[in-house]
């Protein structure tokens, strides 16, 4: 426990040793936290670069598809379906949603 003399803290040797140990422990924890924060920052920066790369490739793909759709529209061929260029999994999802529609009221009246 420090003793105040003329506004100055005076420590015993044991108290000073305890205070030094406490400060060393706090400093060590701060250094560890700083290192962990730096690791997280580096990982976030790498993820950011990767995501920007993916975004750029998707933007390019979208532009290519827009050009392809525009060419199909200009060609005006009636036997070419734009829906054929869609993701088949998307069509399956739409079919599932259609299948889950409840029957109409007229069908219920016929069953009764």
18-67 tens-digit pLDDT: 999 999 999 999 999 999 999 999 999 999 999 999 999 999 999 999 99
Distance (Å, whole) CA 68 – CA 3: 83
Inside any domain, residue 97? no
61-109 tens-digit pLDDT: 999 999 998 888 887 655 555 555 556 555 555 555 555 555 555 555 5
Distance set, CA 33 to CA 26, 83, 112 (Å): 11, 54, 72
Inside any domain, residue 101? no
Six-digit token string for 41: 């920052």
Question: Domain range spanning residue 53?
Answer: 3-80
Inside any domain, residue 102? no
Inside any domain, residue 103? no
Total domain count, the chain: 1
The model carries a pTM of 0.45
Distance (Å, whole) CA 29 – CA 10: 27
Instruction: For residue 2, give every residue at least 6 positions away whose Cβ sits within 8 Å of its Cβ, in sequence order, or none.
Output: 9, 10, 11, 15
Inside any domain, residue 96? no
């Amino acid at each position: 426990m420090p003793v105040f003399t003329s506004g100055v803290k005076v420590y015993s040797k044991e108290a000073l040793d305890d205070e030094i140990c406490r400060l060393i422990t706090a400093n060590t924890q701060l250094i560890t936290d700083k290192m962990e924060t730096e690791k997280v920052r580096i990982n976030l920066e790498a993820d950011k670069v990767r995501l920007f790369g993916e975004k750029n490739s998707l933007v390019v793909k979208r532009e290519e598809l827009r050009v392809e759709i525009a060419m199909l529209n200009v060609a005006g061929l009636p036997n070419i379906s734009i829906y054929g260029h869609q993701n088949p999994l998307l069509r399956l999802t739409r079919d599932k949603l259609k299948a889950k529609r409840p029957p109409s009221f007229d069908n219920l009246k016929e069953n009764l």
